[in-house]
Amino acid sequence: MEVQWAGVDPPRLGPPHTAAGLIFTIVLGLWSSQALEMSVGKIPFLEAVNGSTVMLPCTYASCIGIKNLYFSWQFNDNGTMQKVCDSVISSEGVVPVVNIYRERVEFVGKNDHNNISILLWNITFEDDGYYTCFGRNPKEKGKNHSAVFHLIVVDELRVVDNTLATIIASCVGGGIALLMGFMLLKNFTLFVLAKLEEKNKECLVTSSGIDNTENGLSGSKADSKPTPKKK
């Protein structure tokens, strides 16, 4: 039976390659979500004093796990990438044997919670620059990723001027104290007024009883006299 479409065009199915492209896009999106990711933390820089010891953080993550993950740290020396250290992690939880290529460098990550951080001892101004944490996971068909950490070496740490912050905090604190004082004064005033009103009501009741007694009204002493008996 042929279906008739009144006033509208019948729906048309796209060409086969359109559906294939959609499937490919979905698969690519799922694959990207499983890709290896290297991270140096939310703050990718550090300002440290000359002669101090600092840690360069780096962790890796993969939704499908790792196998023979290769990682390395590299230092950008005026455009030339110098290898700091590297190693291969056979599987998760395994402590790797790390090759160190620079002095005063120590691997401290131990692969604990996917941590592959390094320590720089007694840093100098020559250590100032950008460090790249690189990883490649053969389990994801060689998928690789990298993250950059910036180390800034200074003579001494800058003193942060907190004058403005102190003024703002003082103003806010003063405003809160003023508001609390106003609320306490308001509550005290309402309490005093309530007590005065209560006292006025008691005075009115007492005054009304005295007037009734003097006028010989019901409930007064005048009504308390016995009625004389008829002879």
Q: CA dist 136 to 140, 142, 206, 225, Å?
A: 9, 6, 96, 115
Interatomic CA distance for residues 185 and 183, integer angstroms: 5
CA angle 62, 27, 114 (to 5 degrees): 0
Q: Which residues of the chain have pLDDT under 50?
A: 2-3, 5-6, 8, 13, 22-33, 217, 219-222
* Strand-pair partners of 120: 54, 105
Write down the pLDDT at residue 24. Answer: 45
Write down the pLDDT at residue 116. Answer: 97
Residue range 108-121, pLDDT digits in tens: 999 999 999 999 99
Residue range 79-135, pLDDT digits in tens: 999 999 999 999 988 999 999 999 999 999 999 999 999 999 999 999 999 999 999
What is the maximum span of the chain, computed from C-alpha positions, in angstroms? 139
Write down the pLDDT at residue 208. Answer: 60
Q: Which residue's entry shows tokens 């004064």? A: 185
CATH superfamily membership of 36-154: Immunoglobulins (2.60.40.10)
